[in-house]
């Protein structure tokens, strides 16, 4: 959420952000409502001041045995007006807050202005596309021999858009998760945290998924709970409605969680196999920092995610997302895309984002600085990384001509249960 004072003083910047992010917030309506609210607040404060003044005068007049009936009558009128304005103030505040939730975060100055994902800016790449002496297979073709995945039975259990990792496939995915957690904890100094994956509406509003993305979320309607689309929601709200001492900043958390997304807007996108599914696993990094350190922290988190892919030996590229591809809540985002040679395409496996104070304002996460002033923290998060597309790239890059795969050195200690096996077909 943006500060209303900032909006008032930077109307053109906010309007540009709304336009460039393709949002539909009505800024003119918001400014009219804000003006009305401030006028009501002014009248309310004046009436309360008058009420307090008269309340002190009446006892003194009574003590002097003077007539107070007229003042008491006036107090009754003032009290009614205060109540009326208070109700109007409460109503306009609620309406204004609802409209403010529709305004996106302001893109950072070096974010490219674009109309589509084609305007994302290439930043760098690591490694090279692997060359094969044979035609590499994609993950679905490889699975015919490996039997790591069973989409048919997953669909029988839940429906289309779900996956089942079986036998060695389940062991390999679990190895990826454990490797990534250990790597971030031991090498990057993150603290592991395990939190609920069912959250309330307030938490989803806090991180910016609601109200904009509600149709893409899984809702437990009876309790008005949501299944998390990412562990970002649970971790960021860990400190909601708190004022932290500056001495505990920065905070670095890492968490594994299943993630749930309806993918309501995925019509027309490639959804074959593991490319786009409703439930998937991800290791998530979240940081809480003082504002002056958030952009250097963004670069650190990018490297944290990159080092996972480097350890796995997977070629990738990094993009600075344009305004057209930037999320509603983010000020700046790097996407990491890994190359899958069988699929012949890059797959996004990590988004590293700085939200500045946007989420902290919505979730009321503050800290008391060295000067004893209370300020909003800056929040950042990033995938470190998601498993489905990493799984695709891993088996496609490490495949052999006979359809078997090799295992990267960094995963071997996690694969003690890995052995030749077949599932019933």
> Which residue numbers are catalytic?
261, 276, 348, 351, 389
CB atoms within 10 A of CB 170: 14
Both ends of the chain: CA-CA distance in Å? 52
Helix, coil or strand: residue 330: coil
CB atoms within 10 A of CB 421: 11
Six-digit token pair at 72? 């008491």
DSSP for residue 165: B
Report d(CA 394, CA 385) in Å as an integer. Answer: 13
Report d(CA 423, CA 405) in Å as an integer. Answer: 17
Q: Please report the DSSP string for 6-24 in residue order.
A: HHHH-HHHHHHHHHHTT--
Inter-helix orientation angle 387-397/294-312, to 10°:
40
CA distances for 107 relative to 11, 235, 321, 379, 402, angstroms: 14, 23, 10, 15, 48
Place of tokens 């295992």: 407
Q: Which long-range contacts (CB under 8 A, 24 or more apart) does 52-59 make?
A: 54/78
Report d(CA 77, CA 207) in Å as an integer. Answer: 44
Helix, coil or strand: residue 171: helix
Report d(CA 42, CA 398) in Å as an integer. Answer: 69
Gyration radius (Cα) of the chain, Å: 27
Q: Please report the DSSP string for 389-402 in residue order.
A: HHHHHHHHHTB-TT
CA 364: distance to chain centroid?
15
List phi, psi (to 5°) of 398.
Answer: -105, 20
Six-digit token pair at 280? 């998937």
Burial class from Cβ neighbours inside 10 Å (0-12, 13-18, 19+) for residue 51 reads middle
């Amino acid at each position: 959420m943006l500060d209303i004072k900032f909006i008032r003083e930077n109307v053109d910047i906010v309007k540009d952000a709304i336009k460039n992010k393709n949002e539909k917030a009505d800024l003119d309506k918001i400014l009219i409502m804000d003006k009305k609210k401030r006028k009501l607040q002014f009248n309310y404060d004046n009436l309360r001041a008058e009420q307090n003044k008269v309340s002190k005068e009446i006892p003194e007049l009574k003590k002097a045995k003077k007539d107070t009936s007229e003042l008491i009558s006036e107090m009754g009128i003032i009290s009614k007006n205060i109540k009326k304005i208070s109700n109007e103030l409460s109503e306009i505040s609620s309406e204004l807050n609802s409209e403010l939730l529709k305004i996106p975060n302001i893109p950072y100055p070096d974010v490219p202005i674009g109309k589509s994902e084609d305007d994302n800016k290439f930043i760098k790449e690591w490694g090279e596309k692997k060359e094969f002496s044979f035609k590499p297979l994609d993950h679905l073709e490889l699975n015919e021999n490996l039997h790591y995945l069973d989409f048919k039975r997953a669909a029988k259990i839940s429906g289309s858009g779900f996956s089942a990792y079986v036998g060695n496939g389940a062991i390999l995915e679990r190895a990826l998760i454990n490797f990534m957690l250990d790597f971030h904890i031991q090498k990057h100094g993150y603290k592991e945290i395990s939190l609920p994956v069912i959250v309330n509406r307030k938490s989803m509003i806090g991180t910016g998924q609601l109200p904009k993305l509600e149709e893409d979320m899984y809702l437990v309607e009876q309790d008005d709970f949501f299944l998390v689309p990412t562990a970002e929601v649970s971790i960021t709200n860990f400190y909601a409605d708190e004022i932290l001492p500056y001495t505990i900043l920065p905070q670095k958390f890492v968490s594994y969680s299943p993630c749930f997304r309806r993918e309501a807007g995925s019509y027309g996108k490639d959804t074959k196999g593991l490319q786009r599914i409703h439930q998937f696993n991800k290791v998530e990094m979240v940081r809480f920092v003082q504002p002056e350190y958030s952009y250097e922290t963004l670069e650190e988190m990018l490297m944290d995610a990159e080092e996972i892919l480097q350890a796995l030996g997977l070629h990738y590229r990094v993009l600075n997302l344009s305004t057209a591809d930037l999320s509603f809540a983010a000020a700046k985002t790097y996407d990491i895309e890994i190359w899958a040679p069988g699929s012949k395409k890059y797959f996004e496996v990590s988004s590293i984002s700085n939200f500045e104070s946007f989420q902290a304002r919505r979730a009321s996460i503050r800290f008391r600085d060295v000067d004893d002033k209370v300020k909003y923290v800056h929040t950042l998060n990033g995938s470190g990384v998601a498993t489905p597309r990493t799984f695709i790239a891993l088996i496609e890059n490490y495949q052999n001509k006979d359809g078997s795969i090799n295992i990267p050195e960094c995963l071997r200690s996690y694969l003690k249960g890995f052995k030749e096996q077949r599932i019933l077909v």
